[in-house]
Amino acid sequence: MTILRQPTRAGVRDAAAKLNGVVPPSPLFTHEIKGVPVAFKAESLQPVGAFKLRGAWHRLTAIEPKMRDRGVVAFSSGNHAQGVAWAAKRLGMPAVIVMPADAPVTKREATLALGAEIVSYDRATESREKIAAHLAGARGATLVPSFDDAWVIEGQGSAGVEASAQMEAMGLGAPTHAVVPCGGGGLAAGIALALPDATITPVEPEGWDDMRRSLEAGWIEPVGDNPPKTACDALMTREVSALTFEVLARRGCVGVAVSEAAIAEAQRWAARYLRLVVEPGGAVALAAVLTGQVSVEPGMLVVLSGGNVDPEAYARVLAGEAVEAPAFPALSRAGQ
C-alpha cells in the first residue's frame, strides 16, 4: 500500500493551506535560555495532544472520494491513532485502529471517544502489520502509516510552516535551527522540507537513536536487538523509513541522543517555566537544548511534539523520582 512518491516542499505548503481553518495554529511561546530567546512550538496543545493530526489530515483528504466510505486503518497504540481517528471523524470516514490488547486504558478511551473502532491484538503472538493489512484488504480501506508516507510527512511539516510565520510575526525572524523529536522521522523530515534554509537536528532517546546512527553511517541502521528501556513510548521506532531518512540525509543533518534523566528534567522544566504538560517523547528536543548538546542560538525553534502522559508516571517525574521506564514491546515494531 506504500505510495511511491517523495514528499516535497510544495506538498508541505499544500498541507499547511489545507489545515488552515481546520485547526488553529498551535501556540508558540518564547522563553530565554542562557539569555537567548528560544521559540517553543507547543504541538502538545493540539486537540489530540500531539502533531499527528497534521499528517492524518493531509493524508485522509488526499483519498479519492469513492474510497472514502471504506475508511482508513492504522496501527498505533498512541498519538498516531488519535490523529487518524480525529481526522476521520471530521471527514465522516470510518476508522479502525489496530492496538495492542495491553495498551493503556487512557489511550484506548481517547481513541474510542474520537469514534474509532479498535481491533486488539496480542503483542506476543500476533503481528499488527498483518492484521492491519488484512483489515485494509478485506474492507477496501486505506492504510495510513505513521511516518512512511509522503502525505503524512508533508502534513507533519505544516508545523514548521506555522512556526516560521509565528516567529516572523513576533519579530524573531524565520527559524535558523529547528530541534525536533524523532521517532520514525516524519515530523523532522516534514519540518526540514518546510524550512529549507534551517539546520534541522532530530533528537532521540539514547539506545533508540537509529536515525542519528543512520545519518552518521549514510544508510539506514535499525535499533539494536536489546534496546534500553525508555519512557518515550512515542519514539520507540525500530527502523526509520527511506522517505524520512533521505530527506534528512540529503540535508546533512546530524542527530542527537539524550538520556532518560535529561528527558525527565526537560519535562520538569516545561512544567515549571512553560506551564505545559509534555510527554517524554515530546520533551527530547528540549532536553538536548537544556543539556547543552545543542547550543542555544538566536532563531532557534524547539518542537514540543506531544503532551499525552500517563498520569502516574508523570507525577513520578515531577516528584523527581528515579525514572521508571516501561518495558518496550517485545515483538512488534513499535510505532508512534
Task: Rank residues 2 and 106 by Cβ distance to a second copy and give the closer one.
Answer: 106
Taking residue 17's Cβ as centre, other Cβ atoms within 10 Å add up to 11
The pairing of beta strand 28-33 with beta strand 36-42: antiparallel
CB 2 to a second copy: min, Å: 32
Q: Which residues contact 42 (CB under 8 A, 6 or more apart)?
A: 26, 27, 28, 29, 274, 276, 304
Q: Indicate the residue among 25 and 326 with the shorter CB distance to a second copy.
A: 25
The DSSP output letter for 314 is H
For the CB of residue 166, give the shortest distance to a second copy in the complex, in Å: 9
In the chain, the amino acid numbered 225 is: D
CB 185 → a second copy: shortest distance, Å?
A: 24
In the bound state with a second copy, the residue whose beta carbon lies nearer, of 297 and 321, is: 321
Minimum distance between the CB of residue 318 and a second copy, rounded to whole angstroms? 4
Q: Which residues contact 27 (CB under 8 A, 6 or more apart)?
A: 42, 45
- Minimum CB separation from a second copy for residue 149, in Å? 26
Least distance to a second copy, CB of residue 199, Å: 26
Minimum CB separation of residue 232 from a second copy in Å reads 16
Q: Which is nearer to a second copy, 215 or 309 (CB)?
A: 309
Q: Is 208 or 314 the residue whose CB approaches a second copy more closely?
A: 314
Query: Is 292:245 a contact under the CB 8 Å cutoff?
Result: no
At 302 the three-state DSSP class reads: strand
Q: Which is nearer to a second copy, 191 or 309 (CB)?
A: 309
What is the distance between the alpha carbons of residues 56 and 74, in angstroms, rounded to a whole number?
10
Shortest distance in whole angstroms from residue 207 CB to a second copy: 27
Cell of 112: 474510542
Closer to a second copy by Cβ: residue 16 or 48: 48
Q: What CA–CA distance (Å, rounded) separates 290 from 284?
A: 10
Which residues bind to a second copy, rule: CB under 8 A? 24, 27, 29, 44-45, 49, 106, 170, 268, 271-272, 274-278, 307-309, 311-312, 314-316, 318-320
Calculate helix-pair angle for 242-250, 150-169, nearest 10 degrees.
Answer: 40
CB 34 to a second copy: min, Å:
13
Q: Which is nearer to a second copy, 315 or 331 (CB)?
A: 315
The amino acid occupying position 100 is: P
Closer by beta carbon to a second copy, 12 or else 302: 302
| Distance in Å from the first CA to the final CA of the chain | 19
Find out whether 267 and 237 touch, Cβ atoms under 8 Å: no
Contact 36, 300 (CB under 8 A): yes
Residue 210: count other Cβ atoms within 10 Å of its Cβ: 27
Distance CA 81, CA 73 (A): 9
Of residues 260, 212, 265, the one with CA closest to residue 233: 260
